[in-house]
């Protein structure tokens, strides 16, 4: 059983809603974190870097409703203040606490309310992962969490993950926060390696709107208790696959709940000349508004895909060799649409929630894929009304 313990708080950032989560990590936990590379990092990103260097981490503290980003010296002072209060209540060193914030940019935290809430909290650590995932939501429509178990070397291992997403979803992290716990005993080197490979196959392969936020972080925590020989390649592979699956499930939930999303589309580029080119083509189509609105309109608009692909000057291929499939149906090849390109079968398949676009460039041996959501009227409505 995972030993991480959860406490929900009402910090007073959101009116009448839970907006704080404190997670107590078991002793000997090992933590890996990937954070946004945005040049205007939020205060928590700056503070965590310092704390991760200095100390063993005992607590993670998350607030929603306020990103504490672009808040300058006062934002830093406020963060230090509530960390100090937390450290007093939890009887630990301030730098053994990591903090995470998500929500509006450029507003100061309601520090007095937060300090008062922390002060009054009993910290019994009896909340559920579901309650925690609810408390970190911003424009998310539903809570996102996964619990999975698997067996290895006769031991039952548990993986628990929670995350929030919605807007500013983008490879290399977004407004997204994700926390994944696995009850095995691993060292820092391995946790970093696992985190990187799992994030590359999940959170770095999704895009809702092509923006990278100031606050994005994903943390993988090994909470000890089970010792598995990970120098054994087979064991490592099993552990990695299982963690990766949880990462993928969480990432898929984020795209499915992309702001205003009514569809999730997997875009695959196959047989590209280089991996970079495969990724660039995926990314570019995933972020084409013309393609994304066609998705919303349930229109198998291969023309917009082809036009977008054609506009990528750095992606090498022979136009007449390109084969485009939508939902498994070949719609374009040899430079022209096929007679399936406007078929009943194809058009009906566009009503599915999951859409599959596969473009074979036939110019090399590299493949890449990415998940994206559609661009709906609701997306516009949400983002023209909500101040980030």
Cite the active site residues: 175
Question: How many Cα atoms sit within 13 Å of 323 on the Cβ side?
Answer: 10
Contact 338, 352 (CB under 8 A): no
- When the beta carbons of 7 and 214 are compared against a copy of itself, the nearer one is 214
Q: Is 1 in the site for a copy of itself (CB under 8 A)?
A: no
Please tell me the distance from the alpha carbon of residue 326 to that of residue 328, in angstroms, as a whole number.
5
Considering only CA atoms, which of 232, 251, 125, 119 is closest in space to residue 184?
232
Residue entry with tokens 């993950």: 161
Give the 3-state secondary structure of 128-153. Answer: CHHHHHHHCCCCCCCCEEEEEEEEEC
Please pick, from the candidates 25, 302, 359, 371, the single residue that binds a copy of itself as defined by CB under 8 A: 302
Q: Is 309 in the site for a copy of itself (CB under 8 A)?
A: yes
Q: Is 69 in the site for a copy of itself (CB under 8 A)?
A: yes
Q: Which stretch binds a copy of itself (CB under 8 A): 86-94, 189-197, 240-248, 377-385?
A: 377-385
Count of residues touching a copy of itself (by CB under 8 A)? 63
Please tell me the distance from the alpha carbon of residue 59 to that of residue 36, in angstroms, as a whole number.
21
Considering only CA atoms, which of 97, 176, 107, 80 is closest in space to residue 136?
176
- When the beta carbons of 182 and 355 are compared against a copy of itself, the nearer one is 355
- When the beta carbons of 161 and 258 are compared against a copy of itself, the nearer one is 258
Q: Which stretch binds a copy of itself (CB under 8 A): 52-60, 117-125, 312-320, 363-371?
A: 312-320
Count of other CB atoms within 10 angstroms of residue 228:
17
Contact 330, 338 (CB under 8 A): yes
- When the beta carbons of 75 and 224 are compared against a copy of itself, the nearer one is 75
Q: Is 101 in the site for a copy of itself (CB under 8 A)?
A: no
Contact 220, 194 (CB under 8 A): yes
Please tell me the distance from the alpha carbon of residue 74 to that of residue 63, in angstroms, as a whole number.
17
Chain centroid to Cα 88, Å, comes to 32
- For the record, the structure tokens of 163 come out as 């995350």
Subset of residues 194 to 233 that bind a copy of itself, contact rule: CB under 8 A = 209-214
Subset of residues 135 to 194 that bind a copy of itself, contact rule: CB under 8 A = 167-168, 170
Interface pattern 323-352 for a copy of itself (x via CB under 8 A): ---------x-xxxx---x-----------
Q: Is 38 in the site for a copy of itself (CB under 8 A)?
A: yes
Q: Which residues of this chain interact with a copy of itself, rule CB under 8 A?
A: 37-41, 69-72, 75, 104-106, 167-168, 170, 209-214, 287-290, 293-294, 296-297, 299, 301-304, 306-313, 317, 319, 332, 334-337, 341, 375-377, 379-385, 387-388
């Amino acid at each position: 059983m995972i030993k991480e313990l959860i406490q929900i708080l009402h910090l007073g950032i959101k009116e009448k809603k839970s907006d704080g989560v404190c997670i107590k990590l078991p002793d000997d936990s090992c933590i890996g974190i990937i954070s946004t590379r945005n040049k205007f990092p939020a205060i928590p990103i700056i503070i965590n870097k310092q704390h991760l260097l200095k100390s063993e981490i005992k607590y993670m503290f998350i607030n929603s409703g306020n990103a504490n980003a672009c808040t300058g010296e006062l934002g830093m002072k406020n963060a230090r203040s509530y960390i100090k209060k937390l450290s007093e209540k939890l009887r630990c060193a301030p730098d053994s606490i990591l903090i995470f914030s998500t929500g509006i940019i450029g507003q100061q935290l309601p520090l007095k309310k937060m300090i008062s809430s922390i002060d009054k909290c009993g910290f019994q650590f009896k909340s559920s992962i579901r309650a925690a995932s609810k408390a970190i939501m911003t424009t998310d429509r539903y809570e996102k969490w996964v619990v999975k178990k698997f067996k290895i070397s006769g031991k039952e291992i548990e993986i628990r993950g929670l995350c929030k997403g919605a807007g500013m979803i983008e490879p290399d992290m977004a407004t997204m926060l994700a926390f994944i716990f696995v009850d095995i005993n691993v060292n820092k080197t391995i946790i970093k390696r696992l985190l990187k490979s799992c994030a590359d196959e999940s959170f770095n392969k999704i895009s809702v709107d092509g923006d990278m936020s100031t606050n994005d972080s994903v943390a993988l925590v090994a909470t000890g208790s089970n010792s598995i020989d990970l120098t054994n390649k087979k064991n490592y592979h099993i552990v990695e696959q299982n963690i990766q699956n949880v990462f993928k499930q969480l990432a898929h939930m984020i795209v499915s709940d992309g702001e205003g999303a009514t569809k999730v589309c997997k875009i695959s580029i196959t047989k590209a000349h280089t991996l970079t080119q495969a990724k660039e083509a995926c990314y570019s189509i995933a972020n084409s508004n013309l393609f994304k609105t066609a998705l919303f309109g349930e229109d198998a608009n291969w023309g917009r895909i082809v036009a977008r692909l054609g506009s990528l000057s750095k992606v090498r291929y022979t136009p007449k060799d390109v084969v485009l499939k939508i939902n498994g149906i070949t719609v374009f090849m040899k430079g022209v649409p096929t007679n399936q390109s406007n078929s009943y079968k194809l058009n009906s398949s566009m009503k599915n929630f999951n859409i599959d676009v596969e473009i074979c460039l036939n110019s090399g041996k590299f493949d890449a894929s990415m998940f994206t959501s559609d661009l709906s009227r609701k997306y516009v409505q949400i983002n023209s009304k909500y101040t980030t």
